[in-house]
Protein backbone atom coordinates (compact mmCIF):
# COMPACT_ATOMS: atom_id res chain seq x y z
CA UNK A 1 0.00 0.00 0.00
CA UNK A 2 1.16 3.51 -0.87
CA UNK A 3 -0.14 6.97 0.00
CA UNK A 4 0.31 10.06 -2.15
CA UNK A 5 0.44 12.66 0.60
CA UNK A 6 0.29 15.73 -1.63
CA UNK A 7 -1.68 16.09 -4.86
CA UNK A 8 -3.89 18.75 -6.42
CA UNK A 9 -6.60 16.78 -8.19
CA UNK A 10 -8.97 19.73 -7.82
CA UNK A 11 -6.98 21.52 -10.55
CA UNK A 12 -8.57 21.94 -13.97
CA UNK A 13 -5.90 19.73 -15.55
CA UNK A 14 -7.90 16.76 -14.25
CA UNK A 15 -11.36 17.88 -15.34
CA UNK A 16 -11.42 15.66 -18.45
CA UNK A 17 -10.54 12.37 -16.71
CA UNK A 18 -10.46 12.72 -12.93
CA UNK A 19 -12.24 9.40 -12.35
CA UNK A 20 -9.66 7.60 -14.46
CA UNK A 21 -6.79 9.34 -12.64
CA UNK A 22 -8.12 8.12 -9.29
CA UNK A 23 -8.64 4.63 -10.71
CA UNK A 24 -5.11 4.45 -12.17
CA UNK A 25 -3.68 5.39 -8.79
CA UNK A 26 -5.57 2.65 -6.99
CA UNK A 27 -4.63 0.06 -9.60
CA UNK A 28 -0.96 0.91 -9.08
CA UNK A 29 -1.18 0.40 -5.32
CA UNK A 30 -1.78 4.01 -4.27
CA UNK A 31 -4.75 3.39 -2.04
CA UNK A 32 -5.03 6.84 -0.45
CA UNK A 33 -4.56 10.32 -1.92
CA UNK A 34 -4.29 13.42 0.23
CA UNK A 35 -5.61 16.34 -1.81
CA UNK A 36 -4.10 19.67 -0.84
CA UNK A 37 -5.83 23.03 -0.99
CA UNK A 38 -3.69 25.89 -2.31
CA UNK A 39 -6.36 28.61 -2.39
CA UNK A 40 -9.80 29.17 -0.93
CA UNK A 41 -11.37 27.85 -4.12
CA UNK A 42 -8.98 24.92 -4.17
CA UNK A 43 -9.68 24.12 -0.53
CA UNK A 44 -13.39 23.98 -1.25
CA UNK A 45 -12.64 21.73 -4.19
CA UNK A 46 -10.50 19.52 -1.99
CA UNK A 47 -13.38 19.06 0.46
CA UNK A 48 -15.69 18.20 -2.44
CA UNK A 49 -13.27 15.57 -3.76
CA UNK A 50 -12.99 13.97 -0.33
CA UNK A 51 -16.78 13.74 -0.19
CA UNK A 52 -16.94 12.16 -3.65
CA UNK A 53 -14.09 9.65 -3.50
CA UNK A 54 -13.72 7.16 -0.67
CA UNK A 55 -9.90 7.05 -0.97
CA UNK A 56 -9.32 10.84 -1.02
CA UNK A 57 -8.82 12.97 2.09
CA UNK A 58 -8.69 16.76 2.12
CA UNK A 59 -6.26 19.35 3.41
CA UNK A 60 -7.37 22.99 3.39
CA UNK A 61 -5.19 26.07 3.26
CA UNK A 62 -3.84 28.92 1.17
CA UNK A 63 -0.49 28.90 -0.65
CA UNK A 64 1.80 31.89 0.04
CA UNK A 65 1.48 32.91 -3.62
CA UNK A 66 -2.13 33.88 -2.84
CA UNK A 67 -1.34 36.01 0.23
CA UNK A 68 -2.02 39.40 -1.35
CA UNK A 69 -5.47 38.39 -2.57
CA UNK A 70 -7.04 36.75 0.48
CA UNK A 71 -10.01 38.28 2.34
CA UNK A 72 -9.58 39.62 5.85
CA UNK A 73 -11.51 36.66 7.28
CA UNK A 74 -9.39 34.03 5.49
CA UNK A 75 -8.52 32.23 8.72
CA UNK A 76 -12.18 31.84 9.69
CA UNK A 77 -13.05 30.53 6.23
CA UNK A 78 -10.29 27.92 6.49
CA UNK A 79 -11.37 26.96 10.02
CA UNK A 80 -14.93 26.43 8.83
CA UNK A 81 -13.71 24.25 5.95
CA UNK A 82 -11.44 22.32 8.29
CA UNK A 83 -14.46 21.14 10.25
CA UNK A 84 -15.85 19.31 7.22
CA UNK A 85 -15.66 15.52 7.01
CA UNK A 86 -12.35 13.94 6.00
CA UNK A 87 -10.30 17.11 6.40
CA UNK A 88 -7.05 15.95 7.99
CA UNK A 89 -4.72 18.99 8.07
CA UNK A 90 -4.21 22.67 7.31
CA UNK A 91 -2.12 23.40 4.23
CA UNK A 92 -0.40 24.08 2.19
CA UNK A 93 0.82 27.11 4.08
CA UNK A 94 4.19 28.76 4.42
CA UNK A 95 6.55 31.06 2.56
CA UNK A 96 7.87 31.35 -0.99
CA UNK A 97 10.57 33.96 -1.55
CA UNK A 98 11.70 32.31 -4.79
CA UNK A 99 8.91 33.70 -6.96
CA UNK A 100 7.52 36.32 -4.55
CA UNK A 101 4.11 36.42 -6.22
CA UNK A 102 2.94 38.09 -3.00
CA UNK A 103 4.95 40.51 -0.82
CA UNK A 104 6.95 38.77 1.89
CA UNK A 105 5.27 40.64 4.73
CA UNK A 106 1.84 39.54 3.53
CA UNK A 107 3.08 35.96 3.18
CA UNK A 108 4.28 35.99 6.78
CA UNK A 109 1.00 37.46 8.01
CA UNK A 110 -1.04 34.78 6.24
CA UNK A 111 1.30 32.05 7.45
CA UNK A 112 0.84 33.12 11.06
CA UNK A 113 -2.94 33.33 10.73
CA UNK A 114 -3.26 29.82 9.31
CA UNK A 115 -0.70 28.27 11.65
CA UNK A 116 -2.71 29.74 14.53
CA UNK A 117 -5.88 28.22 13.05
CA UNK A 118 -4.23 24.79 12.91
CA UNK A 119 -3.05 25.15 16.49
CA UNK A 120 -6.56 26.09 17.62
CA UNK A 121 -8.12 23.14 15.79
CA UNK A 122 -5.36 20.72 16.86
CA UNK A 123 -4.64 19.79 13.25
CA UNK A 124 -1.23 19.13 11.67
CA UNK A 125 0.13 21.49 9.01
CA UNK A 126 1.53 20.92 5.53
CA UNK A 127 4.33 23.42 5.01
CA UNK A 128 5.60 25.05 1.82
CA UNK A 129 9.07 26.57 2.04
CA UNK A 130 11.03 27.81 -0.95
CA UNK A 131 14.03 30.10 -0.56
CA UNK A 132 12.58 30.98 2.85
CA UNK A 133 13.79 28.24 5.17
CA UNK A 134 15.10 30.45 7.99
CA UNK A 135 11.95 32.56 8.18
CA UNK A 136 9.74 29.49 7.94
CA UNK A 137 11.47 27.83 10.88
CA UNK A 138 11.49 31.06 12.92
CA UNK A 139 7.76 31.61 12.44
CA UNK A 140 6.60 28.04 12.93
CA UNK A 141 8.48 27.90 16.24
CA UNK A 142 6.00 30.50 17.52
CA UNK A 143 3.29 27.84 17.32
CA UNK A 144 5.09 24.80 18.64
CA UNK A 145 4.25 22.14 19.50
CA UNK A 146 2.53 21.64 16.16
CA UNK A 147 2.79 18.51 13.99
CA UNK A 148 4.14 19.47 10.58
CA UNK A 149 5.48 18.08 7.33
CA UNK A 150 7.65 20.05 4.93
CA UNK A 151 6.32 19.09 1.55
CA UNK A 152 8.43 18.81 -1.61
CA UNK A 153 11.58 19.03 0.47
CA UNK A 154 14.25 20.92 -1.44
CA UNK A 155 16.48 22.22 1.32
CA UNK A 156 20.01 21.35 2.38
CA UNK A 157 21.23 19.15 5.22
CA UNK A 158 21.15 22.07 7.67
CA UNK A 159 17.47 22.66 6.96
CA UNK A 160 16.77 18.95 7.22
CA UNK A 161 18.39 18.87 10.67
CA UNK A 162 16.32 21.89 11.74
CA UNK A 163 13.12 20.16 10.65
CA UNK A 164 14.03 16.91 12.38
CA UNK A 165 14.91 18.73 15.61
CA UNK A 166 11.43 20.28 15.60
CA UNK A 167 9.89 16.84 15.19
CA UNK A 168 8.72 17.46 11.63
CA UNK A 169 8.33 14.96 8.85
CA UNK A 170 9.66 15.64 5.38
CA UNK A 171 8.05 14.64 2.11
CA UNK A 172 9.88 13.92 -1.12
CA UNK A 173 8.61 14.23 -4.69
CA UNK A 174 9.57 12.89 -8.09
CA UNK A 175 12.02 15.77 -8.60
CA UNK A 176 14.62 13.59 -6.88
CA UNK A 177 14.73 11.60 -10.13
CA UNK A 178 16.03 14.61 -12.10
CA UNK A 179 19.57 14.36 -13.43
CA UNK A 180 20.70 17.52 -11.63
CA UNK A 181 19.09 16.59 -8.28
CA UNK A 182 22.04 14.76 -6.70
CA UNK A 183 21.83 17.07 -3.68
CA UNK A 184 18.27 15.87 -3.01
CA UNK A 185 19.26 12.24 -3.45
CA UNK A 186 21.95 12.79 -0.82
CA UNK A 187 19.27 14.15 1.53
CA UNK A 188 17.04 11.14 0.84
CA UNK A 189 19.85 8.84 1.93
CA UNK A 190 20.27 10.48 5.34
CA UNK A 191 16.66 11.28 6.19
CA UNK A 192 15.40 8.88 8.89
CA UNK A 193 12.92 6.45 7.42
CA UNK A 194 10.46 7.08 10.25
CA UNK A 195 10.27 10.79 9.27
CA UNK A 196 9.71 10.35 5.54
CA UNK A 197 6.59 10.58 3.39
CA UNK A 198 6.01 10.38 -0.36
CA UNK A 199 4.12 12.71 -2.67
CA UNK A 200 3.71 13.61 -6.32
CA UNK A 201 2.63 17.27 -6.02
CA UNK A 202 0.57 16.38 -9.10
CA UNK A 203 0.08 17.87 -11.64
CA UNK A 204 3.61 19.22 -11.09
CA UNK A 205 7.05 17.58 -10.97
CA UNK A 206 6.58 14.57 -13.21
CA UNK A 207 9.51 12.16 -12.88
CA UNK A 208 12.47 12.03 -15.24
CA UNK A 209 11.28 10.62 -18.55
CA UNK A 210 7.85 12.21 -18.13
CA UNK A 211 8.85 15.84 -17.67
CA UNK A 212 6.58 18.28 -19.46
CA UNK A 213 3.62 15.95 -18.97
CA UNK A 214 0.95 16.08 -16.29
CA UNK A 215 1.93 14.21 -13.17
CA UNK A 216 -0.51 11.80 -11.50
CA UNK A 217 -0.72 10.06 -8.12
CA UNK A 218 0.08 6.66 -9.66
CA UNK A 219 3.65 7.90 -10.13
CA UNK A 220 4.22 7.70 -6.39
CA UNK A 221 4.95 4.01 -6.97
CA UNK A 222 7.85 4.94 -9.24
CA UNK A 223 9.04 7.37 -6.56
CA UNK A 224 8.90 4.65 -3.90
CA UNK A 225 10.87 2.27 -6.10
CA UNK A 226 13.47 4.95 -6.78
CA UNK A 227 13.94 5.86 -3.11
CA UNK A 228 14.16 2.21 -2.08
CA UNK A 229 16.94 1.75 -4.61
CA UNK A 230 18.78 4.85 -3.35
CA UNK A 231 18.61 3.64 0.24
CA UNK A 232 19.40 0.03 -0.58
CA UNK A 233 16.24 -1.39 0.97
CA UNK A 234 13.30 -3.34 -0.41
CA UNK A 235 10.32 -1.65 -1.97
CA UNK A 236 8.02 -3.23 0.62
CA UNK A 237 10.08 -1.85 3.52
CA UNK A 238 10.01 1.64 2.04
CA UNK A 239 6.29 1.43 1.24
CA UNK A 240 5.37 0.09 4.69
CA UNK A 241 7.36 2.77 6.51
CA UNK A 242 6.14 5.76 4.52
CA UNK A 243 2.55 4.55 4.62
CA UNK A 244 2.74 4.08 8.40
CA UNK A 245 4.22 7.57 8.77
CA UNK A 246 1.44 9.11 6.69
CA UNK A 247 -1.30 7.29 8.56
CA UNK A 248 0.03 8.47 11.90
CA UNK A 249 0.57 12.04 10.75
CA UNK A 250 -2.86 12.47 9.13
CA UNK A 251 -4.58 10.23 11.73
CA UNK A 252 -5.91 7.83 9.15
CA UNK A 253 -7.30 4.43 10.10
Residue-wise pLDDT tens digits, 139-160: 999 999 999 999 999 999 999 9
| Overall number of domains in the chain | 1
Residue-wise pLDDT tens digits, 187-200: 999 999 999 999 99
Whichever domain contains 92, its CATH number is 3.20.20.140
Residues 152, 173 contacting (CB under 8 angstroms)? yes
Residue-wise pLDDT tens digits, 211-231: 999 999 999 999 999 999 999
Q: Name the pLDDT band for 253 (thresholds 50, 70, 90).
A: confident
Residue 100 has pLDDT above 90, yes or no: no
Residue-wise pLDDT tens digits, 110-128: 999 999 999 999 999 999 9
Residue 161 has pLDDT above 90, yes or no: yes
- Mean pLDDT score across all residues of the chain: 97
Q: What whole-number distance in Å separates Cα of residue 207 and Cα of residue 213?
A: 9
Give me the domain span that covers residue 161: 2-250
Q: Name the pLDDT band for 62 (thresholds 50, 70, 90).
A: very high
Q: What whole-number distance in Å separates Cα of residue 34 and Cα of residue 5?
A: 5
Residue 6 has pLDDT above 90, yes or no: yes
Q: What is the pLDDT of residue 68?
A: 96
Residue-wise pLDDT tens digits, 13-31: 999 999 999 999 999 999 9
Amino acid sequence: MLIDTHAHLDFSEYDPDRDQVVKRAKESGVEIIINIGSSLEGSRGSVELAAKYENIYAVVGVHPHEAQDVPVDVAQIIKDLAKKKKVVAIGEIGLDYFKNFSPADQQRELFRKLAAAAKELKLPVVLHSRAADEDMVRIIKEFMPLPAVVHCFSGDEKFLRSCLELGFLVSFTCNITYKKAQNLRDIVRICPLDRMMLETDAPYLSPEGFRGKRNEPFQVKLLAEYIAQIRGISFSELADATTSNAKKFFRLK
